[in-house]
Structure 1
Amino acid sequence: MAVGWAQDGAVQEQIDANVADAVKRVREQMQSGESLTHCEECDEPIPEARRKAISGVRLCIACQQEAEKERASTSLYNRRGSKDSQLK
């Protein structure tokens, strides 16, 4: 059953699109290959346990946390914020 101006299945299509976008972003951010022994940002040694746990690691924990903060603050358009206005 459609709600307002939305077509049947519009809510599920919106959910599927959000999930697909999130999976695509994560796959693009995944690293592969051999891990570095020193951080490419600050040149601090990367602990061996981290190098073994994450293949292709390039940053130390502190620099990785900072990069994730920056990435979160510059995230893409949030579809969920406008979902109600689009579906009604």
Structure 2
Amino acid sequence: MATGWAGDGAVQDQIDATVDAAVQRARRQLHQGPGLTHCEECGEPIPEARRKAVPGVRLCVACQSGQDRQGQAAALFNRRGSKDSQLR
């Protein structure tokens, strides 16, 4: 693959750095410490199995699913733009 002035493996290094940054960002978003017994959004009880599986859990499954959907919608925005959109 032609990479111009980039050294051998530079493209893979950039991909690895991007993946590592995403993993670190996701880890920072995880709550620490004891989880809640009731959802902080709707007040419904959080099952013990969920509290054991997800340390620091603060939301029930339904509220967490809603937040995840909102996050996915925001993540679909392409901040860099594509070459096609830049040429128009």
TM norm structure 1: 0.74
Q: Which runs of 5+ in 1 are unaligned?
A: 83-88
Separation in structure 2 between the aligned mates of residue 58 and residue 4 of structure 1, nearest angstrom:
46
SS in structure 2 of the partner of residue 74 of structure 1: helix
Aligned length: 80
State the 1:16 CA deviation: 1.4
SS of the residue 1:25 aligns to:
helix
Q: Structure 2 length normalisation: TM-score? A: 0.74
The CA RMSD over aligned residues, in Å, is 2.5
Which residue of structure 2 aligns with residue 20 of structure 1? 20
More RCO (CA 8 Å, sep 6+): 1
Shift of 1:57: 0.3
Q: C-alpha displacement at 1:13, in angstroms?
A: 2.4
Measure the CA separation in 2 of the matches of 1:4 and 1:52.
48
Report 1:72-83 matches (<5 A). 72-75=72-75
Q: Would the alpha carbon gap of residues 60 and 70 (structure 1) be closer, same or farther in structure 2, given more than 3 Å must change? A: same
Q: Distance in 2 between matches of 1:28 and 1:39?
A: 20
The CA distance in 2 between the partners of 1:52 and 1:4, in whole Å, is 48
- Name the SS of the counterpart of 1:65 in structure 2: helix
- Post-superposition CA distance 1:17-40 (Å, at most 9, x none): 221221111111111111101100
